Structure 1
Amino acid sequence: MDGIISSLSHIKETATSNAGAINDILLLVEDLIMLHNDSSSFSPIPTSCQEIKNKQPNSPSGVYLLKTATNGTQYIYCNMEELCGSGGGWTRLAYLDMTDATQNCPSGFRLYQSGGVRACGRATSSGGSCTSVQFPSNGISYSQVCGRVTGYQYAAPDSIHHYRNDINSYYIDGVSITRGSPRQHVWTLIAAFSDTLTSSQGCPCSTGSTVSVPSLIGDNYFCESGNTGRSAALILFTSDPLWDGQGCVSIASPCCNVPGIPWFHRDYGNTTTTDYIELRVCDHGGTNSGDSPVSYYEIYIK
């Protein structure tokens, strides 16, 4: 550590360009992360955040160097605190925060911007479609998935589509989270047309709803609408984010009172997997009539 401090002081005194100083500092940051991992408990290099937590229970949340399934290394954020009712050791696979102007949408997603809100939706389409991003587990074996997603309603999404009861299709308007191939359902985040509807365009969790939930979803879903009226508009409803557990009005209020929200959690018990996680933004219509772009997500495994 003394050597790193000495090197930083040397950079301050001798750097002749911003670029040179930044490169030198980045190299030192890598040294700091290595030092953060450096102990007899971490030999060989750990393969997951859970392994670090098991060996050093007081390890703080932060970035650690982990060994990948291909014997390479990768810097990964570890959450060492309790998430989803389970103790620390969570490995973060996915993270996006579009309030950070330096972050971009995943490849293939389309950027929405309105009133200071930035969100990532489906690629332009004249009909039903899903736009997808996958997050590899890097060979980490896991039995739990914990995460949260925040999105916004654009125009008129229509909740669940029972005529497409197929995990590989646009079975909902909203976000589908699955694992592996063939796809296995993890969680569904449904976007409804309005908070005030009990019909097929509303949320199944609303009071008096006539909407049934397909067996492939079960109880593993959240549903919200950003629209408190009954009129469609070709706008991004920025005043009420989706799936944050807030702003559910009228008959939709039960949808904000479901356990865990905004965090979703799946616990597979003794069954472990190394499946990748996939997030898809889906809608049964063209992008000019409805979409549910996401502005924030973080997904963990352990």
Structure 2
Amino acid sequence: MLSVISIITAILTKEVVMATDGHCADDYQFKSPFLPGESCEAIYNKNTETRDKPGYYWILSRDYCGMTYTGSSCEDIYNKYSETVGKSGYYRINNSDWTYCEMSEKLSTNPSPDPNYIPTCAGVGGGWRRLVNINISTGDDCPSGWRKETYAGVSFCRVVSDGSNTCSSTTFSTNGTSYKKVCGRARGYQKGWSVAFYRYHTGQTINGFYVDGLSITHGNPRQHIWTFANGLYDGLADGYDRYNCPCAPGSEYPSPPFVGTNYYCESGTNNTWGRSAYYFNDPLWDGSGCITNNCCDDPTQPWFYRELSGTTTDDIEARICREHGFSRGSTLIDQLELYIQ
């Protein structure tokens, strides 16, 4: 076991390669010139001696930097370099575009995955490019096009306008990466009145507020990837249950044909609702809390997986939509994570 003094001395002389469990390993590079807050790209550009030393560097956390590996996509790197399998981190796409790649092994070959393993994505092969990873509860900002707000100590992203019948859009660039598969998850909360897919049945299309919730699309014209819908409530038949999720009792409004089964729907309350209430105790689309319906039956929740009909390089758009004005009801988003392959 190395002494504290020898570790510090080695760090200062840029010689230490040490794992977090105290054992030396070539995969771990903790070097003092690389200050917290920098990136794999900054380390690569500022310190030429690192360019042939892929490994774990201390940035904001212990991140893997695939210094010597490059390809046309995360999947390309995953397939070309067997040593990158299981080493999720930051890689160079086309020699310059640094991005986070999910490199977990396939489910069949990795019975004990790491804590960051994505079962629905990695279960069909590693090499996923992360487009976005937002967690408002940990202090992240909302992306451009959404509005950040805090209520009762809970922060979230919402539609920009206070008015009714509206959507707020944000776009995540693929930087020209070809993909056919999309994987991801979202988490949100219900505020007041939500009607799931009711507005589709009053004439709204994929370009409008067809859902109370979150719409994930690509291309122009828009093509559907996934929808996260927010129904009114899970339970009692009191004359308003027709606005529930299609999977909940009393619902009269199925998903639109362009959505089909490619959606998750949940409510934030089981047996009551209020036009201005915030339901923070039961997050949406997390695969739990559906006490009186079968909306949580899909075991892959909270993750979704979608294979498109063809390959594309389209950017991906996410829209928060709602029927009523904000004071009456809305869907609030606090987590969003999207990957492409």
The one-letter code matched in structure 1 to 2:179 is: Y
The yes-or-no answer on 1:184 pairing with 2:223 is yes
CA contact (8 A) 1:114 1:238 kept: no
Please, which of 60, 70, 75 is the counterpart of residue 98 of structure 2?
Answer: 75
Change (3 A) 1:7 1:23: farther
The one-letter code matched in structure 2 to 1:79 is: E
Q: Root-mean-square deviation (CA), in Å?
A: 2.6
Question: Structure 2 regions of 5+ residues with no counterpart?
Answer: 1-7, 15-32, 55-65, 107-118
Aligned to 1:87: 125
Aligned to 1:246: 288
Aligned to 1:213: 255
Q: CA deviation at 1:6?
A: 9.0
CA contact (8 A) 1:149 1:294 kept: yes
The yes-or-no answer on 1:283 pairing with 2:298 is no
Q: SS of 1:272's equivalent?
A: strand
Q: SS of 1:181's equivalent?
A: coil
Q: CA deviation at 1:24?
A: 10
Q: Deviations 1:223-282 (Å, cap 9, x if unpaired)?
A: 0010123231413211010001111111x2x1001252111111136x211111111000
Q: SS of 2:215's equivalent?
A: strand
Change (3 A) 1:300 1:25: closer
Please, which of 201, 208, 229 is the counterpart of residue 169 of structure 1?
Answer: 208
Q: Deviations 1:116-151 (Å, cap 9, x if unpaired)?
A: 421101012322110111011111111100000001
The yes-or-no answer on 1:9 pairing with 2:12 is yes
For residues 287 and 38 of structure 2, the distance between their equivalents in structure 1, rounded to whole angstroms, comes to 41
Please, which of 218, 229, 235 is the counterpart of residue 196 of structure 1?
Answer: 235
- Runs (4+) of structure 1 exceeding 3 A deviation are 5-8, 20-35
Q: CA deviation at 1:288?
A: 1.5
Change (3 A) 1:177 1:25: closer
Q: CA deviation at 1:35?
A: 3.5
> How many residue pairs get matched?
278
Q: CA deviation at 1:46?
A: 1.6
Q: CA deviation at 1:22?
A: 4.2
Q: SS of 1:299's equivalent?
A: strand
The yes-or-no answer on 1:100 pairing with 2:142 is no
Change (3 A) 1:24 1:229: closer
CA contact (8 A) 1:173 1:284 kept: yes
For residues 172 and 236 of structure 2, the distance between their equivalents in structure 1, rounded to whole angstroms, comes to 35
CA contact (8 A) 1:157 1:290 kept: yes
CA contact (8 A) 1:112 1:293 kept: no
The yes-or-no answer on 1:28 pairing with 2:43 is yes
The one-letter code matched in structure 1 to 2:190 is: Q
Q: CA deviation at 1:201?
A: 1.3
TM-score (norm 2): 0.74
Please, which of 283, 301, 312 is the counterpart of residue 261 of structure 1?
Answer: 301
Question: Structure 1 regions of 5+ residues with no counterpart?
Answer: 12-19
The yes-or-no answer on 1:64 pairing with 2:67 is no
The yes-or-no answer on 1:144 pairing with 2:174 is no
CA contact (8 A) 2:180 2:340 kept: yes
Change (3 A) 1:110 1:236: farther
The yes-or-no answer on 1:48 pairing with 2:77 is no
The yes-or-no answer on 1:228 pairing with 2:273 is no
CA contact (8 A) 2:168 2:321 kept: yes
CA contact (8 A) 1:53 1:89 kept: yes
Aligned to 2:339: 300
CA contact (8 A) 1:154 1:236 kept: yes
Q: CA deviation at 1:25?
A: 6.3
Change (3 A) 1:197 1:222: farther
Aligned to 2:61: none
CA contact (8 A) 1:128 1:170 kept: yes
TM-score (norm 1): 0.83
Aligned to 2:114: none
CA contact (8 A) 1:151 1:294 kept: yes
For residues 218 and 295 of structure 1, the distance between their equivalents in structure 2, rounded to whole angstroms, comes to 25
- Between stretches 28-37 and 128-137, larger displacement belongs to 28-37
CA contact (8 A) 1:159 1:200 kept: no
